[in-house]
């Protein structure tokens, strides 16, 4: 009988494999695949009902969590704990992390749960096996911070920081660094509170000195804690930001610049727009030469061409003497307006209208055409449709005027957007429209034939 059932199973999976070949390109999901993989993992041996219980239990918990039924989820968790006693050592070792994730989620939301239960649970889970101690400690700390338990969080971090187990594996070392950095972050918190106090105090005040000393103490520890992590490749925005703030406060600009430059330019670090933004803002505060600012924003432009700093970038480029910078200035503006989120950005349109005129005045028709060629297929529908003309006019007349000018220059006065706006009979901006009409007549690139 069992031979028979195995045959059935085999024939079924074969069919399914064929199916997967047929549809694999279409991005469909195959719920059976997970099951199929699970049976393969057990090496064809019949799964014990114990394993069935735990896996069924897991899916019941997931379902309950999805539906926010914390009560039911807790009930199933009660049974799911037995997976910690699974005779399959692979499953047993993977279990604590799953239990921690599910359990902490349940305890976070369950109406009968409280800080105490959560803390007990976290402390228990930390000590199951050795691989999860740091990870759970850290998440526990985040939970405590979420509930404003600053002191407890700090204490937990100190515990975790000193925790060692034999030879640290590479992954654990990063975790220790991270824990130290979080400690640094908490110190930053105290430090900036002190800073606030300090700003309220008079320099002559007796308390000023103590407060200053206090701050200095914190900052020393803080820089030690943050330093190691920041040098490890990764995205550490809040840590970098607070570290730089502190360095700047004590006037250590060189160190701050070094940290930020390293964070932005070190190739081992993942590409991170914020790194460039921090560096740019720092350099701006430092009043660095325009050339330098441009070089920083150039990289940001490559990562996030729609960033709001791009308009600032455009201004910098516009003022530059170099021709290729001025060409880039046009490119940047077009780039910004390629994004749906920026379509109503009046500054961007204003800049574009102004800069198009300027460029054409300077006889750089080729630049404009180069940008326009790749967009002429879709910008008319995307920006200059009749619908947009109506809506823009209704919502923001100034925006509509700027857009109309751009549309006129790029598409000629025959285009629907321009026609709609120019026909509007509005006393207030009558003059403006007249000016626009004139400009269009003069600069439009679309109607040499007309």
Partner 1 sequence: MDLEEAKEFKERCTQCAAVSWGLTDEGKYYCTSCHNVTERSKEVINTGDIPNTKIQAINRGLKRKRKFEKGWDWYVCEGFQQILYQQAEALKTLGVGPELKNEVLHNFWKRYLQKSKQAYCKNPVYTSKRKATVLEDNPSHSDWDSEPDLLSDFSCPSFVESGTDSKPDGHTQKPFPISRTSQSETASICSGSLDGVTYSLQKEKGIVKMTVPRTLALCYLSLLWQRETITLSDLLRLVEEGHIPYIHAFQRFPEEMKLYGRDKGIFAIESWPTYEDIYKKTIEIAKFLDLPRFPDITEDCYLHPNILCMKYLMEVNLPDEMNDLTCQVVKMTGIGEVDFLTFDPIAKMAKTVKYDVQAVAIIVIVLKLLFLLDDNLEWTLSNIAEKYNEKNKEDKPWFDFRKWYQVMKRSIDEKKQKWEEARAKYLWKSEKPLYHSSIDKGVVYKRREMVVNLQKQFSTLVDSVPTVEKKRPSSFQFNWTEGDSTRTCFHGHGLQGILKKKGQSLTTKNSLYWLSTQKFCRSYCKHVTTYEESNFSRSYQFIINLFSFLLRIKTSSLHEEVSLIEKRLFKAKYSKTKKKSRSRKGRK
Smallest distance, Å, CB 64 to partner 1?
11
Conformation bin of residue 68: beta by default, left when phi > 0, alpha when psi is -120 to 50? left
If the CB atoms of residues 24 and 52 are measured against partner 1, the closer one turns out to be 52
Task: Find the length of the chain.
Answer: 450
20 forms part of the interface with partner 1 (CB under 8 A): no
Rounded to whole angstroms, the Cα distance separating 416 from 57 reads 62
Helix (H, G, I), strand (E, B) or coil at 211: helix
Q: Which stretch binds partner 1 (CB under 8 A): 4-12, 191-199, 242-250, 363-371?
A: 4-12
Rounded to whole angstroms, the Cα distance separating 47 from 42 reads 7
Per-residue string for binding with partner 1, 115-134, x by CB under 8 A? --x--xx--x---x------
89 forms part of the interface with partner 1 (CB under 8 A): no
232 near 177, Cβ under 8 Å? Answer: yes
Size of the site for partner 1 (CB under 8 A): 40
If the CB atoms of residues 112 and 203 are measured against partner 1, the closer one turns out to be 112
Among 2, 34, 199, 363, binds partner 1 (CB under 8 A): 2
Taken in order 356, 358, 361, 363, the sign of the CA dihedral is: negative
Alpha helix stretches (DSSP H) within 42-88: 49-66, 70-80
71 forms part of the interface with partner 1 (CB under 8 A): yes
Among 69, 84, 212, 429, binds partner 1 (CB under 8 A): 84
Rounded to whole angstroms, the Cα distance separating 244 from 256 reads 5
423 forms part of the interface with partner 1 (CB under 8 A): no
Which residues in 39-58 contact partner 1 (CB under 8 A)? 48-50, 52-53, 56-57
Smallest distance, Å, CB 88 to partner 1?
10
Among 26, 29, 34, 87, binds partner 1 (CB under 8 A): 87
Q: Which residue has the tokens 């003022």?
A: 319
Among 16, 75, 97, 197, binds partner 1 (CB under 8 A): 75
Rounded to whole angstroms, the Cα distance separating 260 from 280 reads 9
If the CB atoms of residues 110 and 416 are measured against partner 1, the closer one turns out to be 110
Among 76, 191, 313, 393, binds partner 1 (CB under 8 A): 76
Which residues in 96-115 contact partner 1 (CB under 8 A)? 99, 103, 106-107, 110, 112-113
Helices 89-109 & 115-126 angle (0-180, nearest 10): 170
H or E segment to which residue 364 belongs: none
If the CB atoms of residues 125 and 436 are measured against partner 1, the closer one turns out to be 125
Smallest distance, Å, CB 227 to partner 1?
38
DSSP string, 369-433: HHHHHTTTTTHHHHTS-HHHHHHHHHH-HHHHHHHHHHHHHHH-TTSHHHHHHHH---STTHHHH
**Cα–Cα nearest to 276, from 268, 286, 264:** 264
Smallest distance, Å, CB 42 to partner 1?
13
Structure tokens at 256: 């701050």
Binding site for partner 1 (CB under 8 A): 1-5, 7-8, 48-50, 52-53, 56-57, 60, 70-71, 74-79, 81-82, 84-85, 87, 99, 103, 106-107, 110, 112-113, 117, 120-121, 124, 128
């Amino acid at each position: 009988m069992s031979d028979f059932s195995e045959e059935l199973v085999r024939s079924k999976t074969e069919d399914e494999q064929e199916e997967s070949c047929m549809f694999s390109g279409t991005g469909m999901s195959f719920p059976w695949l997970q099951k199929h993989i699970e049976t393969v993992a057990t090496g064809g041996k019949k799964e014990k009902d114990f394993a069935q219980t735990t896996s069924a239990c897991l899916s019941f918990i997931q379902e309950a969590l999805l539906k926010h039924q914390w009560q039911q989820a807790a009930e199933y968790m009660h049974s799911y704990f037995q997976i910690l006693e699974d005779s399959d050592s692979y499953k047993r070792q993977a279990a604590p992390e799953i239990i921690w994730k599910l359990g902490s989620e349940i305890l976070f939301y369950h109406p009968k749960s409280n800080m105490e239960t959560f803390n007990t649970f976290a402390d228990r889970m930390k000590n199951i096996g050795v691989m999860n101690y740091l990870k759970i400690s850290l998440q526990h700390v985040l939970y405590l911070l979420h509930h404003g338990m600053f002191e407890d969080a700090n204490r937990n971090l100190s515990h975790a920081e000193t925790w060692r187990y034999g030879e640290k594996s590479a992954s654990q070392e990063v975790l220790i660094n991270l824990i130290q950095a979080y400690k640094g972050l908490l110190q930053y918190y105290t430090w900036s509170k002190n800073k606030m106090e300090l700003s309220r105090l008079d320099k002559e005040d007796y308390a000023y000195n103590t407060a200053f000393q206090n701050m200095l103490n914190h900052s020393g520890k803080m820089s030690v804690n943050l330093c190691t992590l920041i040098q490890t490749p990764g995205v550490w925005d809040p840590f970098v930001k607070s570290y730089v703030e502190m360095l700047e406060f004590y006037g250590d600009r060189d160190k701050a610049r070094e940290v930020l430059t390293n964070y932005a330019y070190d190739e081992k670090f993942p590409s991170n727009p914020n790194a460039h933004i921090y560096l740019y803002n720092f350099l701006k505060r430092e009043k660095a030469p325009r050339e330098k600012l441009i070089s920083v924003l150039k990289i940001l432009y490559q990562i996030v061409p729609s960033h709001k700093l791009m308009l600032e970038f455009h201004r910098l480029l516009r003022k530059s003497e170099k021709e290729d910078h001025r060409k880039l200035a046009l490119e940047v503006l077009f780039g910004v307006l390629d994004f749906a989120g920026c379509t109503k950005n009046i500054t961007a349109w204003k800049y574009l209208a102004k800069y198009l005129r300027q460029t054409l005045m300077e006889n750089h028709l080729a630049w404009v055409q180069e940008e326009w060629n790749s967009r002429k297929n879709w910008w008319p529908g995307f920006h200059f449709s009749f619908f947009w003309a109506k809506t823009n006019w209704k919502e923001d007349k100034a925006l509509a005027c700027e857009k109309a000018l751009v549309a006129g220059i790029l598409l000629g006065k025959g285009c629907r957007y321009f026609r709609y706006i120019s026909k509007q009979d509005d006393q207030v901006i009558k003059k403006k429209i007249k000016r626009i009409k004139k400009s269009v007549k003069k600069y439009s690139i679309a109607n040499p034939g007309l």
